[in-house]
Structure formats: C-alpha cells, structure tokens
Structure 1
Amino acid sequence: MRLRALLDTDALGLRLLGGDDELDRTVRGVMTTDLRDPSRYLSGGELVLTGLAWRRDATDSEPFVRILASAGVAGLAAGEAELGAVPADLVEACGHHRLPLFAVNETVAFATITEHVVRQVSGERAGDLAAVVDRHRRLMTSGPAGGGPEVVLDLLTSDLDLRAWVLSPTGRLIAGAGEPLPGPVGPALAGLHLAATRTGRRGPHRVPVDGTTYSLFPIRNTGRGAVPASRDVRETVLSDWFLAVEADASDWPAARLDLLQGVTQLIAVERDRRDAARTVRRRVAQEVLELVQAGAAPTEIAARLRVAAPVLLPGLGSAPHWQVVVARVEWAADGAPGAAGGPVAQALLEEILVDPAVTGPDSADRIAVAHTGDEAIALVPLPAVPAPGAEAAQGAADTAGAARAGAASGREPDPVLHADVLLAAVREPLSAGLADDGRLTLGVSAAVHSAEGLRGALEEARHARRVAAARPGRVCAAGHHELASHVLLLPFVPDDVRRAFTARLLDPLRDYDTRHRAELIPTLEAFLDCDGSWTRCAARLHLHVNTLRYRVGRIEQLTGRDLSRLEDKLDFFLALRMS
C-alpha cells in the first residue's frame, strides 16, 4: 500500500505534518517503538509508530529521525497522547531528512493503525501472489514446465511468510522451500492426511505434530483439461500428493484459502505431467510382462530387456540383474462396487520403490510398473548384486533392515530389494489410508541375471505375496528368502517354485563343489542321515571330526543357514529329496 492511502481512511485519525511530496512511498509493514535507536528491528519500508517516550529534549529528535531515514522506513506517525502537539523539532528533523510525518490523534489506538496496515499489506501480497500463480498456471498448462513446485513454494515463503512442503502419500518430500521437515514428521503428516481424507472431510485438515500446527491441502487438478474426479476416494487416496503448510488455516479469510487452492491446482498440473512421463516406463514393464507370461523365448525377452535397460538405467547401457516385485491392494466388500485394485497397486508400488535417499518428483525415473487385473508387477533393474555366497548370507539379515542402508556404516549400499525394508518407512501412513477396509500385500523375488530367470522370479514374487497375504495386518510383505521353508512345499505349489526352493539352498553348494571338489553335497546328505551326529557322520565319511566341522561350517556360510536348527535341517532334507 502507499502512504497516501493512510490519509484516505478517516478512522485512523492521521494528519500529515510534512513530506507531502513523498506520499507515494510503499508501506511494507508497521512497527511500534519508543526506543532511542530501533535500527536493529527495522528492515525498510515500515510505517513507524511512536509515543515519543524516547524524547527528553529537542536535541533527541535529529538523531532519532536520522536513524529511521538511514533504515529506509516509509514514514513516521507520532502520537499526541504523551506531549500533546507533535514537537516542532521533530517536524523540522523529518523535513530535513525528507521523511513523511503524521500526527496520530490521542483518541486513536496504535493497534487500530497496525491492524489496518497489516490487513492492507497482506491483502496486496496475496493479490500479487495470486497473479503470479495464475501466470505460472497458464505457462505450465500450455507449454514446458516453468520451474516445478519449488517456484510457487518459494513465493509462498517470500511473500506470505508461509513455510510449505509438497509430500507424497507416504510422506516422502517432493518439493519444499527453506528448511526441510524433520525426518519423522513427513510420514506422520501423511498418515493424518490419509486418515482425514478417508473420512470424507474436505480439506484443509488442521493437524498438530510435535507441538506444531500444520494445515494439509489435497493436491488435485480441477481446472480445464483435468482428469475427472474419481467417484470412489479409494482410487486416488493412496496416490495423491498433498501440500503441508506450517500454519493454522482454520481462521484464514476466504481470499487466502482460495489462493492456496490455486497453488494446489498449479502443483497438480506438474503432478499430472510427471504421471504422463511414466507412461514409457509402464509400457516397457507391460511389454516384458506379456512376453514372460506368454512363455516367449528367452532370446526375445532378452532383446526387449536390452531396449528397456537404457530407459531405466540411463548411462549404464544394460542391467546385469533384475528383480520382480508384485503388489496387490484389496478392499473389503461392502455392497458397493469396489475400487479398481490394479491401478491403485501400480501407483503405490511406484511410490514404495522410490529410493528413500532421493527427493523430488524425478526420483522414480528407474521404476517400471505394469498392472494386470488387481495385481501390480514391477520390473526393477539392479546395476550390481552381491556374490552368491554373500547374497545367501544376507538372507539371514533380510529382516534387519540392511538393504539400502550400507551408506550409514561407510559401506556401499546393497542394491538388492528386501521386502521388510521396503515397507519399514511407509507402513504407518499407508495403514491409515487403507483404514479398516483395505489391505496391501507385497512379494519380492530374488535377483536374476538373465531373461531365463524372469518367469521363475515372477512366480517367486507372486508366491511370496501369497505368503504375506496369510499374515495379519493392513500392510504386509514377504521376500524370496521366506520361500525356502518346508511349510510351502506342498503338492499344490507350482513346479517353478519347487525349483526355486531347491536352487536357493543347493546351487551355492553345487557351484562350490564344482570349483573346489569339496564334496559339500555328500557331506550334507550324510550329516542329515546321521541326525546331526558329528562322530557317526565323521566315521561314515572316514573324516576327522574337525574336517567335518569345517565342511559343515562352509555349508552354513554359503547358504546363510544354521544346521543346528531343526527348521534348517528340515529345509535341506526336503531340498535334497526334490533335487
């Protein structure tokens, strides 16, 4: 607002005492002070209100006004309640420094002037930002992106003093301005947002987290060209982004709420563009999946993988190893048509597979997810995996959260996906979104190094998902290591899974025997046949007991199993019988 506008409001009781040629100055704020030197609290553009308590005699006016002028304030308003008329020495000093001076009638409270200025300045800032938002919306809907969500979030911070972040449905940071959210706050906000959305309440949702109040705005594109809104909130609740603002929006005026809704629509346009960019990766996954399920020749699948690798692993040219992840979202029947599970699972799997160490909308560029029926299937390229023996040993630590966490200990992070680790950070918010009628189950295959292994990996991941489905809880996962358990080796288990079971346990031993002629397989058979007796087994094999202990130790090292445990003995027994 301009200084001139203050004289147009009779309720403020202001009289201009000097500086009529400076009334076009812009007022950016207001400050009340009676300090002799308030410079540390001034940033420029303020209307300074003073009761003149700092003035002891006429010589005090000149240094006080000089400090205000040096700080770049817009004007000075002096109250008449303390000294009556504004002193002439103050009028003279303001004239000398070309600082507009107003007299405030003793019947007018400084709070009245402050409230008026703040309201006018905030309204103008909101109007300016709304114009910027509208301009960016036109740019983003008609051409290339104009900087992404960060641009408008920076404007919210600089023009309205609002800290805001765009978060995914799991609480992952998409974009933000200023300081990032503390680690656990994002998932906590996501859970509260999903829970509120499932109740059907309209946003914004006011929520407290760790003593701070946030307002959560759903991000949906409702403008021209937007995808029609879903009739069932379950179809979008687990894939929509949301805007978290560090403020209580419950008492905001309608104009500011409308502005924030405009911001969310602007970000939604960017979200839609990112979704469109995933089309190529989804098509890649769909084509490979169709070839695998149709029983295509490995050479044909391998050729398609060579085409897919540069898309999913730019710069590497090929992916030496692959993993398959299968997810399914199921909703309880309630008499109404159920939400489509396949697309929901596809969007969820794309979110879950994002590396948590990477932020931003582009962090899912290496994820290819297809869906068929109610099932989503991800084809995950791995630039490298541990050696066979190391991977088997890693199986014992699968539930310990070692995957993708090596960097914390100075080691290279393990690129292999592990089921429990994938869901560790997202289980709580997703459970809130699934509420009491939804369920997510997920299965992860072992890494395979060729096209020949993809069909088996797909069946392995599907079977692992069925294992997860047998467990209690809204969000459950199972990995390929859990398939090496005798409870699954029943007649109805597919042949592919039987082969995967025996290969998982015995292939490391066969490979070692081939290279070193160590006779680990015969040693294992004899050890089990002797019921784990060291002396009887050593006598049967004509070995010293220490030599037998060395061989058994090598078997345990290569497979990650413990032959002192009954469960592991039984698994080896079944694997040997089926091999």
Structure 2
Amino acid sequence: MKLRALLDMPELRLEVVTGDDLLDRAITWVVTTDLLDPGRYLGGRELVLTGLVWRSGPADSEVFVRALARAGVSGLAAWDLTTGTVPGDLVDACRRHRIPLFKVPEDVAFATVTEAVVRHLSGARAADLTAVLDRHRRLVAGMSEGAGLGAVLDLVGRDLGMRCWVLTATGRVVAGPPGAPDGAALARAFLTAPRLPHHTAASGVSVFPVAEDTTSRVADWFVACEGDHADWPAERRTLTTELAAIAALERARLDDRLSVEGRLAQELVRLVVSAAAADEIVPRLELAGLDPHASYVAVAAAGRGTLRPGELRSVLGEVIPVPRPVVGLLDEEAVALVPVPAEPAPDVAFSVQTALDALAPGLAGAGIMVGVSGVVGAGELRGAVDEARYARRLASGRTDPVCVVRHDELATHVLLLATVPEDVRQMFQVRLLDPLREYDEVHKADLIRTLETFLQNSGSWTKCAEQLHLHVNSVRYRIQRIQDLTGRDLTRLEDRVDFFLALRLS
C-alpha cells in the first residue's frame, strides 16, 4: 500500500501538509506514539500517528521527526487536539527530513485511521506472484516460529526453481531448504560487501539485506538466493525485494521486546539490578522459563557509535551460546542472564568474543563492549550483574571495535564493590562527589576530572598538570578547593582510596 492511497479513503479525509512528491512510499504497518523519541520501537516503512503529546516546545519537533527519519518511516499523520492545528515547526521539520506529513481531521479518531489502513493491507488481492507472496506474508505473521517463512521459501523453490535461505548476520540459518551453503562464509560476504546486493562467486549465491535502510548490518538478517543477481530479469529482482520484506516481518515477529516473554525478561533484569530479595527473584526466574536452582553467568554489553539499544539487544541475544537467553535493557546497556551447567563451566566469554569477532567487519565505525561475570547461583545474580557491568566499563575504556572483558580481569576492589548493596554505594558516592559535581556545574571548574587525573598520576602535581595542560599552581588551587568542599585531605592515603573508589562507582 502506498501513501497516496490514504487520499482515496473518503472516511479518513486526510490532507497532505508537506511531502506531495513522496507519496509513492510504501506502508507496511501503522504505529501510534506519544514518545518524543520512538525510534527504538520502529522498524521502518510505518505510517506513524501522533497527537503531539510529546511536544512541549518548537525544538521537540526536530527531535521527534529526526527519530522518524532515522527509523525509516514512510509518513506521519498528526493533529494537536489542544491547539486545534498542526504546528509550523513540525511542518518545517518534516520538510527538512523529507517525511510526508498528513493532517488528521479533528473528528477522525486514530483508531479509525489504523483500522482503515490495516483493512486495506489485509484486503489487497492480485493474481500474480507478488500477490501470492503478500498472502504468505500475512501467514508468516500468524504462524509458529519459522513455519511461515519456510513455506514462502518452499513456494519460491517450487515455482521458480531457485533455492533461497534467510540467515542472521552470524551465519545462523533462520529458514530455507536443506543443503544451505556455508553460513559463516555467506555472513562474511554480507558483512564486508561494499554494497548490497552482492554476488559471492565461491558459493554461487547472491545476498540481499532485509532492512538495509533501518538496521545495522550486524543486527540485520539477509536473504541468500542461488545465482548472480546481475543476470536476473526484473521480475526476479522484484521477487527478492518481496522476500526481504517477508523476512523483515518474521524478524519483527520474533523480536520479543513487546511480547510477554520479553517483558518478563526486562522485569527480571531490572529486579535483579534493584537488589530485590531472593523470594522476589525466584518466582520471576520461573516465569521467565529459568531454573532457580541452576547456575548462571551475567553478560553486560554496550554499543559505541551508531548501534542502537534495540539492535544491541538483538546482537547480544544472537551471540550468546544458548537459545533465546533472557536479555533486558538498562538505558543504553543490554544485560543477559545465561543459565549454564556448573560442571564443566562453559567459557561464555570465549564464545561471545568469537561470535563478535566474526561480526566486527559489519560494525562500520561502531563498536561493542562486553563484560562477562563468573558462574554464580541464582541467589548471587545481583553480584554477577554488577561484576559484568564493571567488566563492561573496563572494556569501554579500550579502542578495539569489539572488546570482551572477563570477570577475572577485574581488579580486586571492583569485585569487592560488586558485593556492596546499591544504597550504600550510592550514599558513599553522593557524600564524596556531589559537592564537586555541584561546584563544577556552577563554576565550570573541572574538579572531578582534576581529581581523577591527580589520582591516576599517584598524586604527582607535575604529571597531573602536564596531562591537564595546566600550570602546577592551577592544579594545587583545584586540589585545595576539592579538599575545602569535601573536608578530606588528599595527602592521606585513606582519603585518596575513598575518592578512588567513589570515582569507580560513578
């Protein structure tokens, strides 16, 4: 369905505000949102509906529309019931980012728009192969895992005599007939190709991205079809585009962030981090399908560059060597709880490192930093998660595109801090560092950075001054100010240790 079809629905009475030249964009779904930055919940090619609840001022329109453009949405339909208009700053932002904007009449509910579009998408019929594949796309959305996608690939193989497979960026075959080519080799070709589609002469197949415009390659799936795409007729090239759209639907269906299982995983991770009691955690483990008597390893990961949190979560779930691990998001960080046998203890860090090294060519200026804890019982999950997050912070200080830090690389003080209750750590940090942070906010004095540099250089005034590009007297003045604000004496070892630990907690 194209955007211009919306104008032919008399019950909607939508008006184009800007983007008349972009109405040939396709719509695959409808999403209603009141979030200022809904990017992580969008997969591309949606019609977005919004009542502008997120807008508190003109600058918000730029943030909102930029997020839509990055996610690859097809268009936006809006109406501010409070003001009775579409704000000019929203129109300008849509024009800048080339997002078609429709005005929704005041008396037309968003539910009416959604129902009309979904009905149109579901009712499309045609006699050619594309229409057959459209019907199978809907089949994919409602069938059990992998069955619908496999049926479509079987159809293509029977009707066109062309075998096709869908794979993840790690080379795992999602669906396809027996006898798939080497998945690792295809994944390398997909990740390293300067442009897609790409023909791999060694395997005799062509690879196509599933969602190139909206998803990083390391988090994307790809379609592999026998033959050289450069020799195909237009109809066959169109078919691969349709297959990619079907694969995108299947991938979205398997993304459990909004499913019951996904919400349970998210709640479990947050519960563990909040230092909840064991009698609260054990029932949640069971609800999430985990054995409360099993042993676990915690894995924490953060992305650098263009990798978004949702993509990071998908990548982490793909590279952990157990099927469908429990993964949750803590702001920009993904945390996984991995059940493992106590004996022999598996080397989760090695498996994750190996899988991420294979993905590294597709990071394109981005990066992934990972920390892995030791093996613990269910009652020690909080310490394991803290241990993994500390290890991840250590990994973030390195420059490699992929860096995995094991728990045994952590200093003794980090392991000790991981066992201290959160409220105690927070109070300790607040008492020591908050006076410095507040002073820095008002006076721009850079006291926190000066303190950290001073400690890193073992209290050497000269080395600290050189590293900060300051005169030694300026460093002395700042250190004196730190002591005045905190009542501590940086000539005393005990006070230096306290500051060192407080900085490690920040």
Partner Cα separation in structure 2 for residue 494 and residue 296 of structure 1: 20
Question: Are residues 1:496 and 2:417 paired?
Answer: yes
Q: Structure 1 residues 146 and 496 mapped into 2: Cα distance closer, same or farther (>3 Å)?
A: closer
- Residue of structure 2 equivalent to 1:207: 200
Partner Cα separation in structure 1 for residue 264 and residue 339 of structure 2: 12
Once the two structures are TM-superposed, the CA of residue 425 in structure 1 deviates from its matched residue by 3.8
Which structure has the higher relative contact order (CA within 8 Å, separation 6+)? 1
* Paired residue type of 1:306: E
Q: Structure 1 residues 133 and 459 mapped into 2: Cα distance closer, same or farther (>3 Å)?
A: same
Partner Cα separation in structure 1 for residue 141 and residue 397 of structure 2: 46
Q: Structure 1 residues 342 and 260 mapped into 2: Cα distance closer, same or farther (>3 Å)?
A: closer
Contact 1:420 1:478 in 2 (8 A): no
Q: Structure 1 residues 422 and 496 mapped into 2: Cα distance closer, same or farther (>3 Å)?
A: same
Once the two structures are TM-superposed, the CA of residue 219 in structure 1 deviates from its matched residue by 1.7
Matches for 1:301-380 after TM superposition, within 5 Å: 301-308=281-288, 311-312=289-290, 318-331=292-305, 339=306, 341-355=308-322, 363-364=323-324, 367-380=325-338
Of 377, 383, 390 in structure 2, the residue corresponding to residue 449 of structure 1 is: 377
Deviations 1:45-104 (A, max 9, x none): xxxxxxxxxxxxxxxxxxxxxxxxxxxxxxxxxxxxxxxxxxxxxxxxxxxxxxxxxxxx
Q: Quick check: 160-169 or 299-308, which moved more?
A: 299-308
- Residue of structure 2 equivalent to 1:156: 156
Partner Cα separation in structure 1 for residue 419 and residue 229 of structure 2: 58
Q: Structure 1 residues 292 and 146 mapped into 2: Cα distance closer, same or farther (>3 Å)?
A: closer
Deviations 1:389-426 (A, max 9, x none): xxxxxxxxxxxxxxxxxxxxxxxxx5634212223144
Once the two structures are TM-superposed, the CA of residue 475 in structure 1 deviates from its matched residue by 1.4
- Residue of structure 2 equivalent to 1:122: none
Matches for 1:540-551 after TM superposition, within 5 Å: none
Partner Cα separation in structure 1 for residue 170 and residue 134 of structure 2: 29
* Paired residue type of 1:159: D
Contact 2:356 2:402 in 1 (8 A): no
Partner Cα separation in structure 1 for residue 294 and residue 142 of structure 2: 41
- Residue of structure 2 equivalent to 1:434: 363
Partner Cα separation in structure 2 for residue 417 and residue 318 of structure 1: 21
- Residue of structure 2 equivalent to 1:170: 170
Partner Cα separation in structure 1 for residue 154 and residue 143 of structure 2: 21
Q: Structure 1 residues 146 and 330 mapped into 2: Cα distance closer, same or farther (>3 Å)?
A: closer
Once the two structures are TM-superposed, the CA of residue 494 in structure 1 deviates from its matched residue by 6.2
Question: Are residues 1:381 and 2:339 paired?
Answer: yes
Of 218, 223, 227 in structure 2, the residue corresponding to residue 238 of structure 1 is: 218
Q: Structure 1 residues 143 and 164 mapped into 2: Cα distance closer, same or farther (>3 Å)?
A: closer
Partner Cα separation in structure 2 for residue 165 and residue 354 of structure 1: 22
Matches for 1:171-186 after TM superposition, within 5 Å: 171-182=171-182, 186=183
Contact 2:319 2:351 in 1 (8 A): no
Once the two structures are TM-superposed, the CA of residue 144 in structure 1 deviates from its matched residue by 6.7
* Paired residue type of 1:463: Y
Partner Cα separation in structure 2 for residue 161 and residue 138 of structure 1: 23
Partner Cα separation in structure 1 for residue 146 and residue 264 of structure 2: 28
Number of residues of Structure 1 aligned to a counterpart in Structure 2: 294
Task: For residue 212 of structure 1, give the secondary structure of its aligned residue in structure 2.
Answer: coil
- Residue of structure 1 equivalent to 2:185: 188
Partner Cα separation in structure 2 for residue 459 and residue 141 of structure 1: 38
Of 380, 386, 406 in structure 2, the residue corresponding to residue 479 of structure 1 is: 406
Contact 1:329 1:344 in 2 (8 A): no
Structure 2: give runs of 5+ residues left out of the alignment.
1-126, 421-506
- Give TM-score, length-normalised by structure 1: 0.46
* Paired residue type of 2:197: P
- Residue of structure 2 equivalent to 1:568: none
- Residue of structure 2 equivalent to 1:260: 240
Question: Are residues 1:422 and 2:379 paired?
Answer: no
Q: Structure 1 residues 354 and 131 mapped into 2: Cα distance closer, same or farther (>3 Å)?
A: farther
Once the two structures are TM-superposed, the CA of residue 129 in structure 1 deviates from its matched residue by 4.8
Partner Cα separation in structure 2 for residue 454 and residue 141 of structure 1: 36
Partner Cα separation in structure 1 for residue 292 and residue 233 of structure 2: 55
Partner Cα separation in structure 2 for residue 135 and residue 165 of structure 1: 19
Matches for 1:33-52 after TM superposition, within 5 Å: none
Partner Cα separation in structure 2 for residue 141 and residue 148 of structure 1: 8
- Residue of structure 2 equivalent to 1:283: 263
Once the two structures are TM-superposed, the CA of residue 304 in structure 1 deviates from its matched residue by 2.4
Partner Cα separation in structure 2 for residue 213 and residue 374 of structure 1: 40
- Residue of structure 2 equivalent to 1:569: none
Contact 1:215 1:248 in 2 (8 A): yes
- Residue of structure 1 equivalent to 2:135: 135
Contact 2:165 2:174 in 1 (8 A): yes
Partner Cα separation in structure 1 for residue 345 and residue 402 of structure 2: 23
Deviations 1:197-252 (A, max 9, x none): xx6x4x422233xx3332111224xxxxxxxx96xx5x543222110112101121
Task: For residue 302 of structure 1, give the secondary structure of its aligned residue in structure 2.
Answer: helix
- Give TM-score, length-normalised by structure 2: 0.52
Of 250, 262, 280 in structure 1, the residue corresponding to residue 230 of structure 2 is: 250
Once the two structures are TM-superposed, the CA of residue 354 in structure 1 deviates from its matched residue by 4.5
Contact 2:395 2:405 in 1 (8 A): yes
Partner Cα separation in structure 2 for residue 277 and residue 148 of structure 1: 21
